[in-house]
Amino acid sequence: MEKNAGPISDEDTRALTALMKDAQVSQRLDAARQRAEKSLLTTLDPGSPVIGERLFHGRQSLRNGGPRCASCHAVNGRGGTLAVDLTGVFGRMGETGLVSACEQANFNVMRAVFRGKPVTKQEAVHLAKFFESKANAGPVPGIADIHLAAVGGTVGAVMVMGLLAAALRRRKTGTRARLVRPAPRR
């Protein structure tokens, strides 16, 4: 935690310890989260999944000049493959966590790329809304997936036909067929 937040003071450590020992810790954390979300959302425009999608795919530039998210990440099969697919990220992190993750660039590669070009809080809210809009959508197969499915289906069909042909060749025939086979054809 220190590498992301810096050293924790003795006073903060005591306050955190007291919070964790409190029997009402869940309610206190929920109330604090709701206050933070309300504070965050009242100072910004409402998030737009359309603007978030444009920011993610680079059809709208980030205000501070950072690269488009889709350079590294994909959502529903569209985007880069360098970093983790973000299709279900909203379900894992929620709106507050996503806004913070988009703003903070908490991963080493992201820190290097976004140094001096941070994502604004408003852009992070739009991106979170985009991820929320894609939360329940299944992944869209890409061209490579369709090609592999077609090849796999073709290979499977050929294998089944080969096994069927081998099985039919080895089957036992009736007495009449064995007698007629060697007879000359007229």
User: Mind listing the pLDDT tens digit for each residue in 5-57?
Assistant: 667 788 988 988 888 898 998 898 888 888 877 766 667 888 999 999 999 99
Q: Does 185 fall in a domain?
A: no
**Amino acid of residue 64:** N
Beta bridge mates, 74: 79
What are the residues whose beta carbons fall under 8 Å from the beta carbon of 140, sequence distance 6 or more? 76, 77, 78
Residues 42 and 76 reside in one and the same domain: yes
What distance in Å separates the CA atoms of residue 130 and residue 69, rounded to the nearest whole number? 12
Smallest CA-to-CA distance from 55 within 69, 76, 73 is with 69
For the record, the structure tokens of 107 come out as 């991963």
For the record, the structure tokens of 141 come out as 């197969």
Q: In the structure, what pLDDT confidence band is assigned to residue 184 with cuts at 50, 70 and 90? A: low
Q: Does 186 fall in a domain?
A: no
**Amino acid of residue 95:** E
103 or 150: which leads in pLDDT: 103
Residues 115 and 25 reside in one and the same domain: yes
Q: Does 77 fall in a domain?
A: yes
Residue 58 has pLDDT above 90, yes or no: yes
Mean pLDDT of the chain: 81
Q: Does 62 fall in a domain?
A: yes
Residue 151 lies in domain = 143-180
